[in-house]
Amino acid sequence: MADENAKKPFPVSWDQFHRDARALAWRLNGAGPFEALVAVTRGGLVPAAIVAREIGIRVIDTICVSSYNHTAQGEPTVLKGVSDAVAKLGRGTGKGLLVIEDLVDTGKTARIVRELVPQAHIAAVYAKPMGKPLVDTFITEVSQDTWIFFPWDTGLSFQPPIRDGAA
């Protein structure tokens, strides 16, 4: 299993992820106005593209944070902050910025983002209990012991029935 503390696999298909990201956009549509969108890479890139399209945001930037590999979560490291032009929006506070993430897990990355852009609106498609208080908007809550398998991390393969021992 991916993380020794994560006992419940939660595979998400492209179709389901697209529906969930559009649901996030629908929820965010009245929350602005937003001057720019910031994707937390890499996981936030896909939902950011969907949200930006759906609510008409054209200025898009990234905050690049490394905290996961394909098997576990580690300590987050900021690889790139927001650009100077985007950082100047909202007088450097993040006001008017929409930050998009695929998942808020323990909240470590969200805390870093909040320090960089304290007044930004942080949104995630999925949230776990430890991270949920750190985001302003999310769509689906999953248990802390769940490991989400995103569609960009998986391929199509046969899944045995649950009664045959599949998780």
> CB–CB of 23/137 below 8 Å?
no
Task: Report the domain count for the chain.
Answer: 1
Q: What is the CATH number of the domain that holds 120?
A: 3.40.50.2020
Within-domain flag for 2: no
Strand partners, 65: 78
Within-domain flag for 3: no
Within-domain flag for 1: no
Give the pLDDT of the chain (167 residues) as one tens digit per residue: 445 555 899 999 999 999 999 999 999 999 989 999 999 999 999 999 999 999 999 999 999 998 766 666 678 889 999 999 998 887 778 899 999 999 999 999 999 999 999 999 999 999 999 999 999 999 999 999 999 999 998 887 777 888 876 66
Within-domain flag for 39: yes
Domain that holds residue 39: 8-164
Query: What is this structure's pTM?
Result: 0.87
How far apart are the two ends of the chain, measured CA to CA in Å? Answer: 10
CA distance 85 to 61: 10
Find out whether the peptide bond into 33 is cis, omega within 30 degrees of 0: yes
